[in-house]
Structure 1
Amino acid sequence: MDNTRGQSMKKLKSIWADTDTILIGAGAGLSTSAGFSYTGERFQRYFADFEQRYGFHDMYSGGFYPYETLEEYWAFWSRYIWINRYMDTPESVYQTLHTLVKGKDYFVLTTNVDHCFQKTGFDKNRLFYTQGDYGLFQCSMPCHRSTYENREIVKKMVLAQRFTIGADGTLIFPECGRLVMRVPEELIPCCPRCGRPMTMNLRADDTFVEDEGWQKASDRYVDFLRRHANEKVLLLELGVGFNTPGIVKYSFWRMTAKNKEAVYVCVNLGETCVPKEIEERSVCIDGDIGEILKKLK
């Protein structure tokens, strides 16, 4: 650890010990640190056959590929959902964070849709998943504002591709023979009201469904902000980039500027910055989030 980072860690430890209220803003970098990479070895392990046939080289690109049939589309997406929603992260980054915030008045605002916070044991009433959840389907139109849990249907789609599923949820490849890159037509999820194809409850355009659970989480977040508007609070930004900076990063900057009792902390690998207006009440640490949290613990 270089001297600058060492000084920043010392300052962060002091802030942490003196703070009872924490607002966590989490982005994709947090799950990446926990081992949920959408590229490289993890992509190759689960999608080598899709890469060979369709020519894309990461999960994100595969989500936008124009598959010719819904059977192929759902073969890709069922694998994608299972490994990123129903399997556990390889690293214990979320567990470390959970241990750190126990006993403190915290709330989590996140753009992540992998449900890692709740799976790790964070209080679901202290979580606001602004961009949706891989574990929910919605009507693709949508004809109504409800969402539907998808674990069982996704499991059936994965098994139809000749995977087996371990006791811990891990996908196990067949000992012989190839995977099937399509699902049976009868497993394609359709809206129970209008019959149109279902889709993931992910914010991509104005068809995103903000269901009752989303609305209640939003209300709890607003209430948390109201209760601590002028109090000492740590705004802890973890792994947030500039794809959707308005949800966490820019709002954290504005809140820090408005509340003179607030302190802003940004932890990210290769992407940390802070406006001059709040620089004196900020700490930026460029490094792996998991390693930083371990040192803080």
Structure 2
Amino acid sequence: MFSKIWTKKYTESYSNNIKKLRKVLDEADAVVIGAGSGLSTSAGLTYGGERFEKYFSDFIEKYNIPDMYSGGFYPYETLEEYWAWWSRHIYYNRYIDVPKHVYEHLLNLVKNKDYFVITTNVDHCFQRSGFDKERMFYMQGDYGLWQCSEPCHQQTYDNEEQVKAMVKKQKDLKIPSDLVPYCPVCQKSMTMNLRCDNTFVQDEGWYKAKNRYENFINKHKNSKIVYLELGVGANTPVWIKYPFWKMTMNNPKATYVCINYGEATAPDEIKEQSICIDDDIGDVINKLQ
């Protein structure tokens, strides 16, 4: 459907692209935000470097784990170690304040528009920053939810209280055994509600959010709409990037916007309907305020 060669909008100056983006947002009937990990990185939720070393120095020393992402796949010997890692991972990426105000500034841009958010991020930054929970589809899960590891049933469980207890009481990279979470139905161990394989639980709330998103898309498929893609990489383009391209191509009144540091691209087929900005997302949003 699309050419194999992606093109950056080299012919447009940075300042012209900012002006064009401001104009299309002002004139849009609706805005769909498609967010990937690059948006949270811009907001300060980095998984490596100084922030990782600050919160996980003991795990780094013992296991030589290079970053937070890798730590989630480490083969810990016990559930007490596994949950010591994951409770800390969840806490510092889900329950503390977001380091920078990128999400709040983004909300300022769209709060008076008919908007919807689809995201592969699992840190819940949108809702924590004031976005309407009825206008969001967290398709890949949520750090704030657990599920049965089997799974024996299609239900998720809020974990805030248990996670905070684990963080508070862990010692020597282990939590107390009585804090290890088990499924209330089958008694197998709980796990994260994250889309890693075919055991991912899509509960009632997930399907309701999916339906709301699809209804929004159908409602505005012929509208003057902006598909605002923020920090979505090329590793899993089938969830946001490719659908945004297709919907833009099928609607001559649509505009596709890609803001992504180092990966601001669009196919030739929708070049004239695209605005690509290769810069930090937070910096761009600040210029649009």
Amino acid of the residue matched to residue 19 of structure 1?
A: A
Whether the 8 Å contact between 2:29 and 2:223 is mirrored in structure 1 is: no
Of 43, 58, 71, 1:62 maps to 71
Of 250, 253, 257, 1:258 maps to 250
Q: What's the counterpart of residue 198 of structure 2?
A: 206
Q: Alpha-carbon deviations, 1:119-174, whole Å to 9, x = none? A: 1110000000000000000000000000000000001100012xxxxxxxxxxxxx
Alignment of 1:77 with 2:86, yes or no, is yes
Amino acid of the residue matched to residue 167 of structure 2?
A: V
Whether the 8 Å contact between 2:48 and 2:67 is mirrored in structure 1 is: yes
Measure the CA separation in 2 of the matches of 1:247 and 1:195: 33
Amino acid of the residue matched to residue 252 of structure 1?
A: F
1:46-125 matches, cutoff 5 A = 46-125=55-134
Amino acid of the residue matched to residue 13 of structure 2?
A: T
Alignment of 1:6 with 2:15, yes or no, is yes
Q: Alpha-carbon deviations, 1:165-224, whole Å to 9, x = none? A: xxxxxxxxxxxxxx5310011100000000000000000000000000000000000100
Alignment of 1:219 with 2:240, yes or no, is no
Whether the 8 Å contact between 1:160 and 1:180 is mirrored in structure 2 is: no
1:89 match: secondary structure = coil
1:137-176 matches, cutoff 5 A = 137-161=146-170
**Structure 2-normalised TM-score?**
0.95
Measure the CA separation in 1 of the matches of 2:102 and 2:29: 21
Whether the 8 Å contact between 1:85 and 1:135 is mirrored in structure 2 is: yes
Alignment of 1:239 with 2:248, yes or no, is no
Whether the 8 Å contact between 2:149 and 2:189 is mirrored in structure 1 is: yes
**Structure 1-normalised TM-score?**
0.92
Amino acid of the residue matched to residue 32 of structure 1?
A: T
Measure the CA separation in 1 of the matches of 2:265 and 2:151: 39
1:138 match: secondary structure = strand
Query: Which has the higher mean CA deviation after the structures are superposed, 255-264 or 13-22?
Result: 13-22
Identity of matched residues, % = 59
Q: What's the Cα RMSD here?
A: 1.1
Aligned residue-pair number: 279
1:15-26 matches, cutoff 5 A = 15-26=24-35
1:53 match: secondary structure = helix
Deviation, 1:260, is 1.2
Whether the 8 Å contact between 1:38 and 1:59 is mirrored in structure 2 is: yes
1:134 match: secondary structure = strand
Alignment of 1:128 with 2:120, yes or no, is no
Which structure's relative contact order is higher, taking Cα pairs within 8 Å and 6+ residues apart? 2
2:13 match: secondary structure = helix
Deviation, 1:231, is 1.1
Amino acid of the residue matched to residue 261 of structure 2?
A: L
Measure the CA separation in 1 of the matches of 2:172 and 2:163: 15
Measure the CA separation in 2 of the matches of 1:149 and 1:275: 41
Q: Alpha-carbon deviations, 1:63-92, whole Å to 9, x = none? A: 000000110010000000000000111100
Whether the 8 Å contact between 1:140 and 1:207 is mirrored in structure 2 is: yes
Of 31, 37, 42, 1:28 maps to 37
2:266 match: secondary structure = coil
1:184-195 matches, cutoff 5 A = 184-195=176-187
Measure the CA separation in 2 of the matches of 1:269 and 1:258: 27
Deviation, 1:3, is 7.5
Q: What's the counterpart of residue 280 of structure 1?
A: 272
